[in-house]
Amino acid sequence: MPDRATSFGAVAADYERFRPGYPAAVADLVAAYAGRPIATALEIGAGTGKATRLFAARGITVTATDPGDRGRPGRGHFPPRGPGTLSGIR
């Protein structure tokens, strides 16, 4: 895999710690764009899971993937929170 694809891992912990989460309005915009209730979602390039947690907190089952090991779901950077379900795939 190209180094660039996994370069985020080196700063994942700092990103998680210092970057604010997404505002609720982001989930509202996505839901409006979908035009129907969202039960499941696939997130490509989830990083530390900031957006993943936003959608999971709304009860959406999110399967997330990321090319890097440090930012990927299940690697300790974003624990499941809220009523949604999170799962990680490589």
Given this model, what pLDDT does residue 13 score? Answer: 77
Q: How confident is the model at residue 9 (pLDDT cuts 50, 70, 90)?
A: low
**Torsion angle in degrees (nearest 10) through CA of 39, 21, 48, 53:** -20
- For residue 90, give the amino acid letter: R
pLDDT at residue number 28? 93
Give phi and psi for 46, each to the nearest 5.
-70, -20
Judged against a pLDDT cut of 60, whether residue 5 lies above it is answered with no
Going from the C-alpha of 25 to that of each of 22, 40, 78, 83, the distances in angstroms are 8, 19, 21, 19
Euclidean distance between CA atoms 14 and 58, whole angstroms: 26
Nearest to 39 by CA among 21, 22, 58, 14: 58
Instruction: Render pLDDT for 50-72 as a digit per residue (tens, 0 to 9).
Output: 888 899 889 898 888 877 655 44
- Kindly report, residue by residue over 39-52, the tens digit of the pLDDT: 999 888 887 888 88
pLDDT value at position 26? 93
Question: What local confidence, expressed as pLDDT, does residue 32 receive?
Answer: 95
